[in-house]
Structure 1
């Protein structure tokens, strides 16, 4: 399903360009992956020593900081954009008369069921 929304011309052009470059990047990445892939894989990058452990830790901390900053920005954006909206409405409370009609019981039986902690079923 394609969702069409009203967009300004510059925004639509930017959207088309970003989509095009995204697909181009993916195609080039897959092309390079296929053409430069050799049968013998070298797993020496998995071996940890003190020199690359520091760089792995630094990259991990950097990724955590960037992720936290992005989530913080996204949270404040959502709060500013959607915070003042009051879209939730709760249904009115159901009366004992409505419950009695629905379950085909008397109102006294409904009151008794609601007040008892243990209900024995016959």
Structure 2
């Protein structure tokens, strides 16, 4: 639910939010939509056909069956793709090894410095002072699930309280 504050000082009122009005809707002709769908379906058929042929070829080669050619796909294509997968697997292992070595190097060289520093936790006194509230109001706001404000408490210098 979205709420907006009424100018007359009343409680926030529910606002109907039409999501369709804010989505980008393309005004394509029917011809363009049909071409878009046809190209998308053709692309998926080619991708899934290639993956299916590679899977079939690997199973056929493993079991000693004959691998039939299909368009530009043949047994050499399967061997080539398997070679690429092998090379990519080796690159993946080398990358993992480099990251592990780099992590251990950084931990050994810089881990003893303990340079991470965090700001101290903000207390209710600071929050009350910044927003011009009492400490009791801040504690109440932190414990309540829903808080209805009578006026905007965000200071103008924070940038978002101007509206």
TM-score, normalised with respect to structure 1: 0.53
Instruction: Tell me which of 70, 75, 78 is aligned to 1:50.
Output: 78
Residues paired across the two proteins, number? 77
Measured after TM superposition, the shift of residue 96 of structure 1 is 2.2
* Structure 2 counterpart of 1:66, from 91, 94, 102: 94
Q: Determine whether 1:101 maps to 2:103.
A: no
- C-alpha spacing 1:120/1:78, structure 2 compared with 1 (3 Å): same
Give the match for residue 78 of structure 1: 106
For CA contacts below 8 A with separation 6 or more, give which structure has more relative contact order: 2
* CA distance, structure 2, for counterparts of residue 109 and residue 79 of structure 1: 45
Instruction: Describe the SS at the equivalent of 1:84.
Output: helix
**Runs of 4+ off more than 4 Å:** none
* Equivalent position SS for 1:76: helix
Deviations 1:48-107 (A, max 9, x none): 623323322221222112111111111111111122221122222333222211111111
Q: Distance in 2 between matches of 1:115 and 1:90?
A: 25
Structure 1: distance between partners of 2:108 and 2:128: 45
Show the 5 A alignment for 1:18-33. Answer: none
Unaligned runs of 5+ in 2: 1-71, 151-163
Question: In structure 2, how many angstroms separate the alpha carbons of the residues matched to 1:112 and 1:88?
Answer: 33
Counterpart pick for 2:120 among 86, 92, 99: 92
What is the TM-score when the length of structure 2 is the normalising length?
0.41
CA RMSD of aligned residues (A): 2.2
After superposing the two structures, state which structure 1 stretch, 86-95 or 63-72, moved more: 86-95
